[in-house]
């Protein structure tokens, strides 16, 4: 009888430890996001129709730093939520691209000057963001595969067009801050696939990059990696 009571007590202790281990809890990580940007016009990339605002994919990037919280509800399910600041760089494939802003909207034109060497043309926008992503861990250990999808939103805090060119032996940089009819708020869906301290992410913005009717209708897509500590 004593042995049975002792065994039951030990089992109750083990059950309590397991319950405590997987009760709702939250911990925090620092995150660094590094990725590549492009955008879709309808279902196509703009280079399919030779648009002046076509991007150079491997030179158009997004970088962000932030704080991520993970609230665990069970061994295999948790919610990842938090905020970050990001810088989105859209570098145009044609270095002669000019963004012309008027009272009615923006247009993308070609700088036809022949006395200079065009080096770079790009548009950069900075955002403050928040995200909410339910995640599922496929396995019991911290090293197992995890996958999830959720929502994010952000507010634009800066935007600037940059043109870099060479005149004779001099490198000249033209930096023009303006809103360029970029939407102040952006929002979309975000998917994550991770292992250990690295996640791969993909995002798609549900609202257009520019205010409707003031610029081309483009939806930003990004892919990259998130490094957590």
Residue 13: its H or E element: helix 2-21
d(CA 222, CA 152): 13
How confident is the model over 105-114, as a mean pLDDT?
95
- By the 8 A CB rule, do 175 and 158 touch? no
pTM of the complete model beyond 0.75: yes
Residue 3: pLDDT above 50? no
Please state, in angstroms and as integers, the Cα–Cα distance from residue 12 to each residue in 24, 116, 157, following that order.
20, 80, 55
Residue 24's pLDDT band, with cuts at 50, 70 and 90, is: confident
- Provide mean pLDDT across the span 28-40: 95
CATH number, span 29-93+125-158+185-222:
2.40.160
Contact yes or no for 82/64 (Cβ under 8 A)? no
Q: How far is 91 from 127, CA to CA, in rounded Å?
A: 17
Mean pLDDT throughout 127-142?
87
Mean of pLDDT over the chain? 89
Q: How confident is the model at residue 79 (pLDDT cuts 50, 70, 90)?
A: very high
Q: What is the mean pLDDT of residues 119-138?
A: 96
The structure tokens 């930003």 sit at 220
Q: What is the mean pLDDT of residues 170-191?
A: 96
């Amino acid at each position: 009888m004593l042995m049975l009571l002792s065994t039951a007590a030990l089992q109750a202790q083990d059950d309590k430890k397991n319950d405590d281990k997987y009760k709702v809890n939250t911990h925090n990580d620092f995150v660094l996001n590094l990725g590549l940007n492009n955008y879709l016009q309808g279902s196509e990339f703009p280079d399919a129709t030779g648009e002046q605002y076509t991007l150079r994919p491997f030179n158009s990037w997004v970088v962000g730093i932030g704080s991520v919280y993970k609230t665990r509800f069970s061994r295999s399910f948790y919610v990842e939520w938090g905020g970050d600041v990001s810088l989105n760089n859209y570098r145009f494939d044609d270095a002669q691209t000019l963004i012309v802003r008027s009272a009615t909207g923006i247009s993308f034109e070609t700088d036809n000057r022949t006395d200079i060497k065009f080096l770079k043309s790009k548009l950069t926008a900075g955002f403050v963001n928040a995200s909410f992503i339910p995640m599922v861990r496929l396995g019991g250990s911290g090293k197992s595969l995890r996958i999830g999808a959720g929502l994010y939103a952000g507010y634009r805090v800066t935007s600037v067009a940059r043109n870099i060119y060479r005149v004779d032996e001099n490198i000249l940089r033209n930096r023009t801050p303006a809103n360029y009819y970029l939407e102040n708020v952006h929002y979309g869906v975000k998917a994550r696939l991770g292992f250990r301290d690295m996640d791969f992410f993909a995002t798609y913005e549900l609202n257009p990059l520019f205010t409707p009717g003031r610029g081309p209708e483009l939806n930003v897509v990004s892919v990259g990696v998130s490094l957590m500590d």
